[in-house]
Amino acid sequence: MSMSSVAGRITLLSIISSSGARVSCSSLTTASYSSHARMPSTLPCTLSVSGSDMRPLIGFTVSSIMAARAPSVLKQASRLASKSSLPATPRPSVPALLRVAAPSARSSCGRSYVTETRRDNAQVQVETAIRLDRKELERSGLTVSGQDGSTTHVSPMADVLRRATVMDEGQRPIYLDMQATTPLDPRVLDAMLPYYTGVFGNPHSRTHAYGWESEKAVEEAREHIATLIGADSKEIIFTSGATESNNMSIKGVARFFGRSGKKKHIITSQTEHKCVLDSCRHLQDEGFEVTYLPVNNKGLIDLEQLKAAIRPETALVSIMAVNNEIGVIQPLEEIGKICRENKVFFHTDAAQAVGKIPMDVNAMNIDLMSISSHKIYGPKGIGACYVRRRPRVRLDPIISGGGQERGLRSGTLAPALVVGFGEACRIAKQELEYDSKRIKFLSDRLLNGLLAMEHTQQNGDPEHFYPGCVNVSFAYVEGESLLMALKDVALSSGSACTSASLEPSYVLRALGNSDESAHSSIRFGIGRFTTEQEIDYVLKAVTERVGFLRELSPLWELVQEGVDLNTIEWTQH
């Protein structure tokens, strides 16, 4: 076979540590476009580690092999994989089950790379990977004692379940900011990689195989997204993310129906995402009228107020599915029914909902929906907008050009991002039930521990919220101070889009919270790779550091003495 026809990828070729530890290649993956012969797609290699100190590992990953270098690289990989003459220092024996866990290796900067290359084995069996054979673990002495004195058998390789991205071991905080973004699922990364190397065609090129190949992958991803929300694949329009989808939906519908001058009214709520509120304000500058519905102290809109706000000139109602700060779930089905009865289009910002709670656009009578990839363990920079075809939703495009995506969103698609988005949706559909139960368990554990502290309260509706978003106010503690004290935990005091602002959260103020309460609120985001041990660590850290910060507050001292702060007359200096 001519090596000039090879374009491929070598994953985790070889890693040699300065202390003598050796890791041979995990797998060699190549893609050949020769018309004569094909190389095997996988060259079998084994992963072996020797040496007691594995931290100063030096390694490399080759993403693409040029024709002139391919023979030497493959030869080097084979030589390193079979080489066994390096001296090995004694190390503790590791159970056999640990050696066959998900493949992982280290790079030159002490990072862990995790991949799972088999599509047919995409279902992560978390419990199987974490809880291994008791006898094997007892022989190795790898046990962790629980708070109740019981012994939990945990595999060190279970770490790969939460390290879905490249992590600097020992230097990165525990990640509990899942509403801002989620780590890339390793299965998503594996699905994307071929479209950065061999399959690089423009999906809109219809005259050759490179374009057809990319187009096929894009359409498969479109189908996965549609299946997740109960839609038809032709109703999925790819965008750069939920912000663009929100802009396209709101401005597009308003401008299309506003041209006649008869439909120039929009309804939304006071707790929407910033991009929705700003889109509505821009439309107000263009002569549209916008009604901002208030919410109750739990964050829910009043359906009767919604009915009363709808007029003959109302073009669109935009209510988000799950709030990004407090996790409140709005009654989408009831809202959709009201809109359908009044012949008004219903748009929902579902960036925090799709893939996390069951969503069905037909059952909920949703006409437009915004979806984000990186909120469901997919890549950043890609999203989608669901646009109903029957009854047809008409909207003006906000980006003009080549007429891609049904003429609604021009521009060349990025196949790798689209494929990653589709794979993330496929996994979300497959694991929705399991993820929901697991996140609910961790959320209850966290919330019960936080609310057991003095003067703490949950923000939002405790009965109608997504368990992965826990927002709690800690009275007599400044939220920013608590975030600084919890540098070993990645948290947020609100939306990542406005986290640089020192203004109190407009969402919490809409609930009726005081500025002091809003400033003392912290959002905890729990996700697919969060572990029970991390929740326990965070609970302990928050309890200790809230107590420390309160001891520094003179207000806390007065409260402890039984003084009612509302009776104090404060004077300005």
By annotation, the residues acting in catalysis are 497
Strand duo 151-152 + 144-145: pairing: antiparallel
In degrees and rounded to multiples of 5, residue 293 shows phi and psi of: -70, 135
Q: How long, in residues, is the chain?
A: 573
Q: How far is Cα of residue 21 from the mean position of the Cα atoms in its chain?
A: 35
Q: How far is Cα of residue 209 from the mean position of the Cα atoms in its chain?
A: 33
Alpha helices per DSSP H over 295-382: 303-309, 332-341
How many of the other CB atoms lie within 10 Å of CB of 216?
A: 13
Sign of the four-CA dihedral 542, 545, 549, 555: positive
Strand, helix or coil at 341? helix
459 vs 122: CA distance, rounded Å: 36
Sign of the four-CA dihedral 420, 421, 423, 424: positive
101 vs 377: CA distance, rounded Å: 21
Q: Token pair for residue 483?
A: 């975030």
Alpha helices per DSSP H over 231-361: 242-258, 274-285, 303-309, 332-341
527 vs 349: CA distance, rounded Å: 20
In degrees and rounded to multiples of 5, residue 238 shows phi and psi of: -80, 140
Sign of the four-CA dihedral 423, 428, 429, 435: positive
471 vs 525: CA distance, rounded Å: 9
Sheet holding 456-458, edge to edge: 456-458, 469-474, 521-525
In degrees and rounded to multiples of 5, residue 427 shows phi and psi of: -65, -40
484 vs 490: CA distance, rounded Å: 10
371 vs 66: CA distance, rounded Å: 38
Q: Token pair for residue 355?
A: 């893939």
Which residues are paired to 295 by β-bridges?
Answer: 301
Strand, helix or coil at 22? strand
Which residues are paired to 238 by β-bridges?
Answer: 384
H/E segment holding residue 523: strand 521-525
In degrees and rounded to multiples of 5, residue 459 shows phi and psi of: -95, 135
> Contact at 8 Å (CB) between 502 and 473?
no
